[in-house]
Amino acid sequence: MSEATRIASTFSALKSADRMAFMPFIAAGDPDVATTAKILRELASAGADLIEIGFPYSDPIADGPVIQASYTRALSKQVKLKEIFEMLSSVSGEISAPLVGMVSYAIIFRYGTENFVKQARSSGLAGLIVPDLPGDEAATFAAMMANEKLDLIQLIAPTTPPERAVKILQRATGFVYCIAVSGTTGVRKELAPHLADMLKSLRSQTNLPLAVGFGISGPDQIEHLRGKADGVIVGSAIVKLLEPLSVAGTDTTSVIRSVGDFTRSLAKAAHRE
């Protein structure tokens, strides 16, 4: 990609300010798309540098129980892709933080790969994370994404051998999603001991920003990653706070405010404020 993408520019600006990027994750449509729009605005105003939006999928094998339950709640209300894209179009102009879609390739394939990429672009997404599209299968799709000036974020796992990592990094743009643990998404008390070595090794192989996700839930873990990673991704801990929204009679405003407060605390840790 000749010119910097929105994601690359965001990381570059943060690096100049000696800050780590904080990236919260939420699922679209839990409990409904209108509330998702409100949550996105709250996350942005609470200091999120990028925001990941999970597209609900019926069989998300990379996700743990918290995010799976969030997807199930959204799908139980029959949320459709069309509504998600419309909602993203309506909020993306107001939010300066790049929005990144987390989508199963099953959904993209069914929708039509080219159509999906065009729709992602027109609804204001800056990139996509496709957890079940490993680098080996990603070449054609990555080219489509590049044509639309979107980043296709590549993932590297603790189980990825060095020679595979080299191949994956050759195709990577935007940032590298470093999976902190072998397993699914979800809160872990402690980060795996090998993580620092993995980040050190990746750092020597690429100039792309390294962002760590899976298992991150608190300021201490963010502090632990300072100097080793350029960003952190927090999903399940935030999605867990949103669970009450599906319960009738819950005060939506106060739940969203509590998510904002949590996001603020994590963003402050990442920004060292």
Q: How far is the CB of 89 from other proteins (least distance, A)?
A: 17
Catalytic residue among 42, 49, 52, 230: 52
Nearest to 214 by CA among 248, 193, 191, 196: 191
C-alpha to C-alpha distance for 38 and 120, rounded to whole angstroms = 20
Consecutive H or E run containing 53: strand 51-54
Q: How far is the CB of 264 from other proteins (least distance, A)?
A: 31
Is 230 tagged catalytic? Answer: no
Residue 161 interacts with other proteins (CB under 8 A): yes or no: yes
Residue 72 interacts with other proteins (CB under 8 A): yes or no: yes
Is there a contact between 153 and 131 (Cβ–Cβ < 8 Å)? no
Residue 155 interacts with other proteins (CB under 8 A): yes or no: yes
Is 52 tagged catalytic? Answer: yes
- Give every CB contact of residue 165 below 8 A, 6+ residues apart in sequence: 156, 201, 202, 205
Residue 179 interacts with other proteins (CB under 8 A): yes or no: yes
Distance of CA 242 to the CA centre of its chain: 17
Q: How far is the CB of 240 from other proteins (least distance, A)?
A: 17
Nearest to 98 by CA among 132, 124, 71, 73: 124
Phi and psi at residue 166, in whole multiples of 5°? -60, -45
Residue 7 interacts with other proteins (CB under 8 A): yes or no: no
Question: Footprint of other proteins on residues 97-136 (CB under 8 A)?
Answer: 104-111, 131-136
Nearer to other proteins, 44 or 130 (CB): 130
DSSP per residue over 96-121, as a string? -SPEEEE--HHHHHHH-HHHHHHHHH
Is there a contact between 232 and 216 (Cβ–Cβ < 8 Å)? yes
x/- track of binding to other proteins for residues 81-100 (CB under 8 A): x-------------------
Nearer to other proteins, 107 or 146 (CB): 107
Q: How far is the CB of 122 from other proteins (least distance, A)?
A: 18
Instruction: Provide the 8-state DSSP code for 55.
Output: P
The residue type of 226 is: R
Nearer to other proteins, 139 or 247 (CB): 139
Q: Which stretch binds other proteins (CB under 8 A): 5-13, 31-39, 60-68, 120-128?
A: 60-68
Residue 59 interacts with other proteins (CB under 8 A): yes or no: yes
C-alpha to C-alpha distance for 156 and 178, rounded to whole angstroms = 5
Nearer to other proteins, 168 or 267 (CB): 168
Residue 199 interacts with other proteins (CB under 8 A): yes or no: no
Q: What is the largest CA-CA distance in the chain?
A: 53
Q: For the chain, give percent helix, strand, coil, nearest 5.
A: 50, 15, 35
Q: How far is the CB of 104 from other proteins (least distance, A)?
A: 7
Interacting residues with other proteins (CB under 8 A): 56-62, 64-65, 68, 72, 75, 80-81, 104-111, 131-137, 155-161, 164, 168, 179, 181-184
* Residues assigned a catalytic role: 52, 63
